[in-house]
Structure 1
Amino acid sequence: MADSDTVTVRNAAKAVILHDGCVLLQRALWEERECFFLPGGGQRPGEALDVTARREVLEETGLDVTVERLLWLREYIGAHHGGAPQDHRVEAIFFCRLAGDATKLGGNAEDDVQTGLEWVELERLPAINLLPSGLRSPIADLVYGEPPTKYLGDIA
């Protein structure tokens, strides 16, 4: 296998931030389609995943959060979903609480595909293009309370 084909696993942390029946999502343009993502991003060497979640939320949204607990662990293995065979990601998805004003949105390091931020009502989640789509139901179900931590597996 050539170096360019070497599979490396990329760790990331994402945040579920709720406020007044809504979840904070990044609006984005991905593959020429409007979609939404949870805020978060890649883990740096030597950085704990909860620290990654807090840092990424601050950079991308301008909001300070308190990371409360792990909700889900999700994988994405590109070869299983028509993606690049070397694309393998593991994401820790944390439940976070706001530590500041929910209206002060605007980070200093938005993702390249990010077009904005939006507080989306939990009831709207099944109808929007949230990626990965396998997160729509688990996030919407948070309206009924926080579920036990769960391994979601390889979902796209």
Structure 2
Amino acid sequence: MTEPATPEIRTSAKAVILHEGQVLLMRANWDDQECYFLPGGGQHPGESLGDAVRREVDEETGLTITVERLLWLREYIGANHDRPVLEAKTHRIEAIFLCTPTSDPHQLGGHAQDDAQTGLEWVPLGKVPDLNLLPHAIRQPIADLAETRPAPDSYLGDVA
């Protein structure tokens, strides 16, 4: 009997970049759908999560940023969601940071964009819940950043 494959855990850092009541999102065509993602990506061995998010944002957007604080920690264990067989080996941990741009927020254009990326867009926080922003579980928490309220729990758990 063959043992089930052990998932490799992939860590990444994502950025919620806020400027004048808007958040910067990556437009993408992924899995046959038009959608949005937060800028960011995989952490390299020996790289801090803060350095990873700064590098990834520069690569994908051309912006330099200041990392303000950790907002949320998200897990995604593929076997627990929509495509358990296809994603049985998928296990991601994402640190999602609140960031502010330190370079001109209107000069966008990364030098190493993701293959699925089709553009960048500043979106008013109030419009985020209506977007196909993936994962869906972060739409309302991002929109809530427009209001002054106590910080929600930082650990989002295993969510799709």
User: What TM-score range do you get, normalising by the shorter chain?
Assistant: over 0.9
1:88 is paired with a residue of what secondary structure? strand
1:105 is paired with a residue of what secondary structure? coil
Q: How does 1:1-80 map to 2 (within 5 A)?
A: 5-80=5-80
* 1:101-135 deviation per Cα after TM superposition (whole angstroms, max 9, x unaligned): 01000000100100000001111111110000000
Aligned residues: 155
Task: Give the gaps of 5 or more residues in structure 2.
Answer: none
Task: Give the gaps of 5 or more residues in structure 1.
Answer: none
2:46 is paired with a residue of what secondary structure? coil
Q: What is the RMSD of the two structures over their aligned residues, measured on CA atoms?
A: 1.5
TM superposition outliers: structure 1 runs of 4+ over 6 Å: none
The alpha carbon displacement at 1:25 in A equals 0.2
Paired residue type of 1:118? E
TM-score by length of 2: 0.92
Paired residue type of 1:67? V
Structure 2 distance, partners of 1:34, 1:58, is: 23
Structure 2 distance, partners of 1:66, 1:115, is: 25
* 1:123-153 deviation per Cα after TM superposition (whole angstroms, max 9, x unaligned): 1111110000000010000001472551000
Give identity over the alignment, percent.
Answer: 59
Alpha-carbon contact 1:70-1:149 (below 8 Å) kept? no
TM-score by length of 1: 0.95
